[in-house]
Amino acid sequence: MISAAGVGSGLDISGIVSQLVEAERAPKTFLLDRREAALQAQLSGFGTLKAALLDLRTSLSGFASANDFQQRAATSSDGTLFTANATSGAVTANYQIVVDQLAQPRKLSSQGFGSSAATVGSGTLTFSAGGDSFTVDISATSGSVAGVRDAVNAATGNDLVTATTVQVADGSGGQETRLLFTAKGAQDLTISVDDIDGVDTDASGLSQLVFTSGGVENMQSIQAPSTARVFIDSLLVESDTNTVEDAIEGVTLELLAADPAATNTLTVSDDSFAVKQSLQAFADAYNVFVETTNALTRVNAPGDAGILVGDSTMRNVQAQLRRVFAERSLQPNMPGNLAEFGITTQDDGTFTFDETMLESQLGENPEAVSEYFAGEDGLAARLTTLLDGYLAPNGTLDARTDRLDGDIGRIGDARERLELRVQATERRLLAQFSAMDSLVAQLNVTGDFLDQQLSALSGITRKR
């Protein structure tokens, strides 16, 4: 029995079937590929649109609060003596400032040691300043100069002192190591000791670190503490540090140098710089949105169009944004729309920002500017509500992309069904061609037999 396909007929059955199967598969695969590519492009387009809207939404944070329109700038007439910064709670005014004295901490030095590994002693150190204190346990293994330094700096509750070691000349041409304690504030610093040797005030062991103001002073005071003294409009203000906070409400002074003979001016004024930066960032973000939507909806020529041209979601978000920008304020004595704050629309739909117009409005009526942008129903609030409807989880854009993902998934299902149909077609064709080939083989055998019989009859006739 002939079983090899094509043996009976001599035809390339495998090749014929493959071509017929491909003719069945190709046009349907082409349509599915084209549909999937279009859906993937739309999905990418919505991702680009969402990124542009997110940037626009983020830009609103710079003018969403009334405080953003109440910033203050603090300026020193001599930045070598003091600098200043102000919060929105500061009142605009001028102040006369005299830096009479800087704050400085108590600094104490131990006696000289041969090296940082030299033994100091063991026991307990207690540091006190300004009504606060903390205790450090010094064991025999941590009783070196470096060990005491590290234990003090690492002690729990140490907000009072910093320990360091320095190498200094010993007066004989050599070097010695000294342990320094520097208070963190201008309050006086005292050190008491519970020495392991039982004597807490002598000049040996851990007791050599004792310093009690007006009492035992085994350490050397190399700098006495003093508070900062600054005159503000001839009124004396004292501070434990060189940072003077809220002597003027909402203003912080950083004292850098003292000059009792110099009177300088501190000016607290409105600061429009941050507002201008925020509105410029908003205009820039909107311009990126416009450029993005223009690219997604362009129509240059037949067959050359943006991937979201004609899309209803795209049209809606564009129209709704333009509607918000065009709305006029109904508040009395308030500028009516963005153009009156210097933000105008150009021919290509993008914004341009004129800072001079904004400064003029801020100078004439800062409360109205604040209300227009940051009020309860101001521009920032209305835009936030609009954009959140598109950007929120399960919002408009998520719904669109979910549908596109579903459509792409269904194309995958269609590919699987197509492949099953093609496989069934291939099996059917192979079976049909195999049956044909077998029939042809049988007919060939019969034909050969008849040829043989006819040849035999012809031989008999010739003999007769």
For residue 389, what are its two tokens? Answer: 């409807």
Tell me, yes or no, whether 346 and 425 share the same domain: yes
Tell me, yes or no, whether 282 and 350 share the same domain: yes
46-55, 256-265, 431-440: range with highest mean pLDDT: 256-265
Tell me, yes or no, whether 241 and 306 share the same domain: no
Residue that finishes a domain, picked among 271, 293, 327: 271
Residue of 447 and 341 predicted with greater confidence: 341
Tell me, yes or no, whether 204 and 255 share the same domain: no
- List the one residue out of 271, 264, 310, 331 whose CA is nearest residue 38: 310
Tell me, yes or no, whether 327 and 413 share the same domain: yes
The helix/strand/coil state of 294 is helix
Residue that finishes a domain, picked among 239, 271, 303: 271
Tell me, yes or no, whether 309 and 431 share the same domain: yes
**pTM of this prediction?**
0.59
Q: How far is 189 from 161, CA to CA, in rounded Å?
A: 8
Burial of 448 (0-12, 13-18, 19+ CB in 10 A): exposed
Res 147: pLDDT: 95
Cβ count near 166 (within 10 Å) = 11
The answer to whether residue 460 is domain-embedded is: no
Tell me, yes or no, whether 121 and 93 share the same domain: no
pLDDT at residue 54 tops 50: yes
- Give the total number of structural domains in the chain: 3
**Pseudo-torsion of CA 160, 162, 163, 164, nearest 10°?**
-160
Res 304: pLDDT: 65
Cβ count near 179 (within 10 Å) = 26
pLDDT, tens digit (0-9, with 9 covering 90-100), for 175-192: 999 999 999 888 889 999
Res 333: pLDDT: 58
The answer to whether residue 1 is domain-embedded is: no
The answer to whether residue 2 is domain-embedded is: no
Residue of 463 and 213 predicted with greater confidence: 213
Tell me, yes or no, whether 67 and 78 share the same domain: no
Tell me, yes or no, whether 94 and 61 share the same domain: no
Residue of 209 and 339 predicted with greater confidence: 209
Residues contacting residue 337 through CB under 8 Å, at least 6 positions apart: 325, 326, 327, 328, 329
Q: Average of pLDDT values for 415-439?
A: 77
Residue of 339 and 365 predicted with greater confidence: 339
Q: Which amino acid belongs to residue 300?
A: N
Tell me, yes or no, whether 216 and 288 share the same domain: no
pLDDT, tens digit (0-9, with 9 covering 90-100), for 65-100: 777 777 788 999 999 999 999 887 888 899 999 999
Q: Contact at 8 Å (CB) between 190 and 122?
A: no
Q: How far is 68 from 277, CA to CA, in rounded Å?
A: 11
Q: Average of pLDDT values for 326-346?
A: 73
Domain that holds residue 252: 72-103+227-271
Tell me, yes or no, whether 311 and 397 share the same domain: yes
Tell me, yes or no, whether 98 and 189 share the same domain: no
